[in-house]
Amino acid sequence: MEISAAHSLNLSYDSKCKNIHGHNWIITVFCRAASLNADGMVCDFTHIKQQIHGYLDHGFLNELIPLNPTAENIAKWVVDEIPECYKAVVQESEGNEAMYISDDMPDDRFSF
């Protein structure tokens, strides 16, 4: 999903990223489960989009997530927000992406 959002980074070194700026983020969510639900899904894409895109799009990430909004922390936040999610990839700009993989998710049978 694509999200337009602004952020500023709290870094231990001097960087222009300390200033408020925005990106058109691309967030890819990977989910899995041991079995499909009654609807034949791991989880509904629409619910994920509402929970992530609906919450973050056109927002100021510093006010929306409880972490320094780096691409890595945004990926972690996504994984923590969706119970079926074990991995998220956040692309900040072309060629700049970060991935977070949870250690808590067992190797299950169904994934998307």
The CATH number assigned to the domain holding 36 equals 3.30.479.10
Number of domains in the chain: 1
Q: Look at residue 60 and tell me if it is in a domain.
A: yes
Q: Long-range contacts for 50-57 (Cβ within 8 Å, ≥24 apart)?
A: 51/81, 51/82, 52/1, 52/3, 52/27, 52/78, 52/81, 52/82, 53/1, 53/3, 53/27, 56/3, 56/5, 56/25, 57/3, 57/4, 57/5
Tokens of 90: 């956040």
- Domain of 63, in residue numbers: 2-10+22-96
Q: What is the pLDDT of residues 23-62, one digit of tens each?
A: 999 999 999 999 999 999 999 999 999 999 999 999 999 9
Q: Look at residue 107 and tell me if it is in a domain.
A: no
C-alpha distances out from residue 70 to 29, 51, 103, Å: 17, 19, 20
Neighbours of 31 (CB within 10 A): 22
Q: Look at residue 106 and tell me if it is in a domain.
A: no
C-alpha distances out from residue 4 to 14, 60, 61, Å: 25, 10, 10
Give yes or no for a contact between 70 and 96, defined as CB atoms under 8 angstroms apart.
no
Please state the pTM of the whole predicted model. Answer: 0.89
Q: Look at residue 58 and tell me if it is in a domain.
A: yes
- Per-residue confidence (pLDDT) for residue 108, from 0 to 100: 53
Q: What is the pLDDT of residues 60-104, one digit of tens each?
A: 999 999 999 999 999 999 999 999 999 999 999 899 999 999 987
